Amino acid sequence: MNTPHLGYVSVAVGIMAMVSGCAYLTPTATTELQSESPETTSEVSSSLAASSEEPSGEATRATDGGLNDTSAATDAPTTTPPTTIPPPLGADELVLKSGGVGGALFGADPAGVIDYVSSILGSPTADTDWVDAAMLACPGTTVRRIDWGVLSLTFGDESDVSSGRAHLMAYTYGSIERFGGEPQGLLTDVALGLGATVAELREKYANVSIDSGDPDLDVPPSFFVEHDDAMVSGLLSGVDDTDVVLVIFGGSGCYG
């Protein structure tokens, strides 16, 4: 049993209990999304991105506000990875990776991520706005969770990838309370999705660890796997081969 992860899972269950059913692309409880400054709305950092206020002496990036802006620093080599999110292609672009969701990497500035996901899924269906990090059992001083149906993105100012600045730090896809819900069909980079059986989970992730949970502590069965030097985890209906994946997590930051 992989006990170091139980706190994370129990917090995750509490967070997912707050996700309500909703129609795809139809907002029901959206609050103001543009709390960040306009200068950062098109910037998306890598997983080790620095603050949006770069120190003097660094190359200046283009800030025309367009999500399709892929220009890099003028003095950067041509092999430097782009620092902006690529143009959205559709929901199938939102691959649930160990390093982020689609083109939005962990460490990216919130405004650009929100615009990017909204351009694919429509307006968010729920938004906590910025609240005390303790409210969601997260480190740091502030945290925000935004939902698009059963896809939730968590932003904060303290995680494994960045500290002292607001950034994307985790995602949750699915609900422990019910199966299904929009957006449907999102997959990990090895094509694991909600409803996959435990047998399929073992086949796709040979090094997966499966935990039977603890009913007395209200901790459901779960899985954990080191993938691409990061953690992918989730919640299960049970531990038999025919049980299924109910929730998929990525990122870090909230441990309880």
Please give the pLDDT value at position 136. 86
Backbone angles phi, psi at 199, to 5 degrees: -60, -40
What confidence tens digit (pLDDT) does each residue in 150-173 have? 999 999 999 989 999 999 999 999
Please give the pLDDT value at position 131. 96
Please give the pLDDT value at position 232. 86
What are the residues whose beta carbons fall under 8 Å from the beta carbon of 18, sequence distance 6 or more? none
Which token pair is 74? 């003028």
Reference 61, options 47, 40, 78, 79; nearest CA is 40
Query: Is residue 236 classed as helix, strand or coil in its secondary structure?
Result: strand
DSSP string, 181-211: -SSP--BBTT--BTT-BHHHHHHH-TT-EEE
Please count the CA atoms within 13 angstroms of the CA of 249 that sit on its side-chain side: 29
**Alpha carbon separation from 28 to 10, 91, 185, 190 (Å, rounded):** 27, 20, 22, 32
Please give the pLDDT value at position 76. 46
What would you measure as the largest C-alpha separation in the chain, in angstroms?
Answer: 58
Please give the pLDDT value at position 226. 85
Please give the pLDDT value at position 1. 43
- Cα-based angle 206, 210, 215 (whole degrees, multiple of 5): 170
Please count the CA atoms within 13 angstroms of the CA of 116 that sit on its side-chain side: 30
What confidence tens digit (pLDDT) does each residue in 104-142 have? 999 999 999 999 999 999 999 999 999 999 988 899 999
What pTM did the predictor assign? Answer: 0.66
Q: CA 53 to CA 44: how far, in whole Å?
A: 13
Partners of residue 153 on adjacent β-strands: 146, 171
Full pLDDT tens readout for the chain, 256 residues: 433 443 443 433 343 333 333 333 334 333 333 334 434 434 444 443 444 444 444 443 433 433 444 444 455 444 544 445 555 557 889 999 989 999 999 999 999 999 999 999 999 999 999 999 998 889 999 999 999 999 999 999 999 899 999 999 999 999 988 777 899 999 999 999 999 999 999 999 999 999 999 989 989 999 999 877 677 899 999 999 999 999 999 998 675 4
Query: Is residue 12 classed as helix, strand or coil in its secondary structure?
Result: helix
The bridge status of strand 142-148 relative to strand 126-127 is antiparallel
- Cβ atoms of 81 and 233 within 8 Å: the answer is no
Backbone angles phi, psi at 10, to 5 degrees: -65, -35
Every domain of the chain and the residues it spans:
10-20+40-48+90-251
- Cβ atoms of 72 and 143 within 8 Å: the answer is no
Name the strand (E) or helix (H) holding 116. Answer: helix 110-121
Please give the pLDDT value at position 231. 78
Partners of residue 134 on adjacent β-strands: none
**Alpha carbon separation from 244 to 119, 178, 240 (Å, rounded):** 30, 12, 9
Please give the pLDDT value at position 170. 95
Reference 50, options 147, 142, 167; nearest CA is 167
